[in-house]
């Protein structure tokens, strides 16, 4: 028998960090709002949020005036307050961005200038200063970014679930949206077990966000392309090779930061990720493929434009995915002492990266509005860091359609 949920003000689709934070933000904006969050998985933070590196980003990479820059800056303050309130572990350990070749020095200097524009307390480091901070790291020059840190975003999501429920809202797991009807005055969401009718909807479904928007009849002018990021972790005996966070100078053509080392909040050291196109939106290994997802990419013009433009880079990422020695070689650019014996296979994550029909990768947070809905079109990293600021913006958008 199908249950029915009616008389709701808002249904939120997706219990990742952005969806949960958005539900909470609406409750804070209008405490009498009747809110239900539905999530197709059996727990919160099952995909992007629960499989990221746990880094609290500083905002150094993002162009001034962009949503990412603004929302990381304001979101960090909100994030630290939330973590403190809920006693969630956090370590503002700082990170180094390392130039390992002469052709990276100008890019490193450009990052330095951008960091100063953002008001960060960054500084340049000589090779000797770098070795003093990270004794096993090799580079020509580096930036020290003291504002970067790490935390546990899964614990944060669990705390958000508790807050939403304490404020009178519902969070329903194992409840995938299968059909959506959006009219002038309400939204009806059908799931396997119930029909949810609400005055409004917020779509925060991450890897499925474009599909959910399509169910609601929205054209977001972008499609999600799943990029799998694979990680290794250092063996316990090798963890002394990395003290904090070590990043390379990123390629400005891509919204990825390159393989790097992250000391997690539990003391583990993760190395990665690469960035390979996954054969399924939730395909965390090469053995997982989805025919519909593959067909969608194969018939998408933007996918072909992207592949033609960056095929060489893509082949390199694929080679690193299939060859541990190639992955190790990339890591040795930062920490030469790392060997294959120091690394064991770890988790993989998938980045929900929006792509335009012309093959352009959407490089900023992006949203779209329907008559009774708000859709998160693109919110990959640093969305976890910026989540509470993103949620504030979404709540303001939501208030305009109520």
- List the chain domain ranges: 3-49+154-222+363-400, 225-234+259-356
Specify the pTM. 0.96
pLDDT score for 21? 99
To 10 degrees, the CA torsion angle through 133, 237, 87, 53? 80
Nearest to 258 by CA among 229, 291, 235: 229
Q: How far is CA 171 from the centre of its chain?
A: 21
Residue 87, Ramachandran bin (φ over 0: left; ψ between -120 and 50: alpha; else beta):
left
d(CA 345, CA 337): 18
Residue 180: strand pairing partners: 189
- Tokens 């934070």 belong to which residue? 21
pLDDT score for 257? 81
Nearest to 393 by CA among 356, 372, 365: 365
d(CA 43, CA 21): 15
β-pairing, 269-272 vs 260-263, is antiparallel
Residue 386, both tokens = 């910026």
The tens digit of pLDDT for each residue in 77-112 reads: 999 999 999 999 999 999 999 999 999 999 999 999
Structurally, at CATH architecture level, domain 3-49+154-222+363-400 sits in 3-Layer(bba) Sandwich (3.50)
- Which residues of the chain have a pLDDT value below 50? 1
Contacts of 399 (CB under 8 A, 6+ apart): 29, 30
The tens digit of pLDDT for each residue in 282-325 reads: 999 999 999 999 999 999 999 999 989 888 888 988 989 999 99
């Amino acid at each position: 028998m199908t249950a029915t949920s009616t008389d709701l003000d808002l249904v939120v689709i997706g219990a990742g960090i952005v969806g949960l934070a958005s539900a909470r933000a609406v409750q804070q904006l209008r405490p009498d709002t009747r809110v239900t969050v539905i999530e197709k998985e059996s727990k919160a933070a099952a995909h992007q949020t629960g499989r990221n590196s746990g880094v609290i980003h500083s905002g150094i990479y993002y162009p001034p005036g962009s949503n990412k820059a603004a929302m990381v800056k304001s979101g960090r303050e909100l994030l630290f307050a939330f973590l403190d309130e809920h006693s969630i572990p956090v370590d503002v350990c700082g990170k180094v961005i390392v130039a390992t070749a002469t052709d990276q020095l100008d890019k490193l200097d450009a990052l330095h200038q951008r960091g100063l524009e953002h008001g960060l307390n960054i500084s340049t480091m000589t090779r000797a200063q770098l070795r003093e901070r990270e004794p096993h790291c090799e580079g020509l020059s580096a930036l020290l970014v003291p504002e970067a840190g790490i935390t546990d975003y899964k614990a944060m999501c669990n705390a958000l679930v508790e807050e939403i429920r304490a404020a009178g809202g519902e969070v329903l797991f194992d409840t995938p949206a299968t059909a959506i009807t959006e009219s002038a005055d309400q939204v009806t969401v059908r799931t396997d077990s119930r029909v949810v009718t609400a005055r409004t909807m917020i779509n925060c479904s991450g890897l499925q966000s474009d599909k959910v928007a399509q169910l609601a009849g929205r054209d977001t002018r972008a499609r999600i392309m799943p990029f799998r990021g694979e990680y290794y972790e250092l063996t316990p005996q090798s963890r002394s090779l990395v003290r904090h966070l070590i990043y390379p100078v990123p390629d400005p053509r891509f919204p990825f930061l390159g393989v790097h080392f992250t000391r997690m909040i539990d003391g583990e050291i993760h190395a990665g990720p690469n960035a390979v196109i996954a054969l399924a939106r939730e395909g965390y290994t090469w053995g997982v493929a989805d025919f519909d997802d593959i067909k969608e990419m194969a018939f998408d013009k933007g996918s072909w434009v992207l592949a033609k433009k960056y095929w060489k880079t893509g082949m390199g990422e694929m080679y690193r995915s299939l060859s541990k020695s190639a992955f190790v070689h990339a890591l040795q650019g930062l920490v030469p002492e790392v060997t294959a014996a120091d690394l064991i296979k770890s988790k993989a994550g998938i980045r929900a990266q929006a792509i335009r029909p012309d093959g352009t990768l959407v490089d900023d947070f992006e949203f779209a509005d329907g008559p009774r809905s708000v859709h998160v079109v693109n919110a990959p990293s640093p969305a976890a860091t910026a989540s509470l600021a993103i949620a504030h913006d979404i709540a303001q958008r939501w208030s305009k359609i109520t």
